Structure 1
């Protein structure tokens, strides 16, 4: 066991969702670091300050490459705590499949959670089927080559993702509207990929963190994914919307430390 684990110091890797970037963790990262942990935040391809354009990212694997490159550098005797948000759940599933031995636990924070019985796209396809077009509000969609692009509009961000954004000025919502970039679910690519395996992805401890006030991925769909994919544990951040790192950062910090301690 590494000295890092012996001392109780964990390495958290925080994985953002669609249209967002590493910037969305700015409240959580210093809280975890103040507790003595190592925290890595990254930008997926065409996200945050990553210079690629989403039009030039052909597959979900290419989109997730920054995370895979990071895990490739982790020493074989160390393990990380992977924390995913929203679409980031698909990213850490790929990482867990490829680097199973380097992941202590995968945390799905109001995140899409694939199973091992269906194609990786299944959980995203079911979400789209259950989401009426009017629920997307001012989100923009367009076809680009072999994928569908999406870009969250101000109304969708305000009413579906950041509705509990704290403070009278709602500064976090303003930050999101300033820094959000177009993204994609990459369903077309994921529908052609092999199922995740029980031996690798399915063998890594997985915890689902429920956000009961989430209007982006509604509570009933979170519960459906939990039943469909199966999890070692389910925890809840009371009063959290789709952005618990914004509206409940201390509660999330405490919860992640408890999870990491259990699965060290």
Structure 2
């Protein structure tokens, strides 16, 4: 059973991926378009739509051999790409796991879960609403205070060297219908709540859970937004257990 991780670039899963591989799990952490080490740029027509951005994950899941299914793990905005993959290829997905991630429902417009996010203090982030797609670049203080406040210093340093301009593709997703109840809605879901997240706060994580049926809720009380750094052993344990349960 393969596990595919998304969110903030594939690099950020290096601790968790190492732990899972050591116990025999097959792990893939593809860089989405214009993310991590992917050579494409957000603009220059390299990743103009959310489908383009998510294409590396979709291609990887589509390439699974007949009869094989994967556990998809989405973190932060990566939850939207996991939802898209589950909606597009539901028969290839054994379970969708959301780790402090945006988790859309099947009744609302796709970007609704983004637009309702109660994050108002963007600190030193740089935004650009004038060009398509609109973008944001996380600033070092935002990252330290909202995302990595409990993470090791070396991982904060690494993240600052790899941060890239990104987009939430709200306008593009607004043109699409809600995710399908018989497709994304039918895929088994697990949510991992990160109790010290200062970006997607716990109350909002639980609000998303209340609006979208899940098989189970798991919790890491001491994890910040970047649970793969602040609580890698605990997170890897949850993911291994999910893989063993739903496959």
C-alpha displacement of 1:263: 1.0
1-structure distance, mates of 2:42, 2:132: 12
TM (norm. structure 1) is 0.91
1:92 to 79, 82, 91: 82
1:15 equivalent in structure 2: 6
2:154 equivalent in structure 1: 171
* Structure 1: 5+ residue stretches without partners: 1-9
Runs of 4+ in 1 over 2 A off after TM superposition: 143-147
C-alpha displacement of 1:149: 0.4
Q: Output aligned runs, 1:1-264, within 5 Å.
A: 10-16=1-7, 20-55=8-43, 56=45, 57-127=47-117, 130-132=118-120, 135-166=121-152, 170-264=153-247
Decide which moves more: 88-97 or 67-76.
67-76
2-structure distance, mates of 1:104, 1:131: 32
Q: Deviations over 1:18-53 (max 9, x none)?
A: xx3111011011100000011011101111111111
2-structure distance, mates of 1:255, 1:224: 21
2-structure distance, mates of 1:77, 1:131: 41
Q: Deviations over 1:200-242 (max 9, x none)?
A: 1000100010000000101111011111122111100120110
TM (norm. structure 2) is 0.97
Q: Give the conservation status (yes or no) of the 8 Å contact 1:244–1:252.
A: yes
Task: Name the Cα RMSD after superposition.
Answer: 1.0
1:5 equivalent in structure 2: none
1-structure distance, mates of 2:149, 2:119: 18
Q: Deviations over 1:82-133 (max 9, x none)?
A: 0110000000100001110111100000000000001111100111xx322x
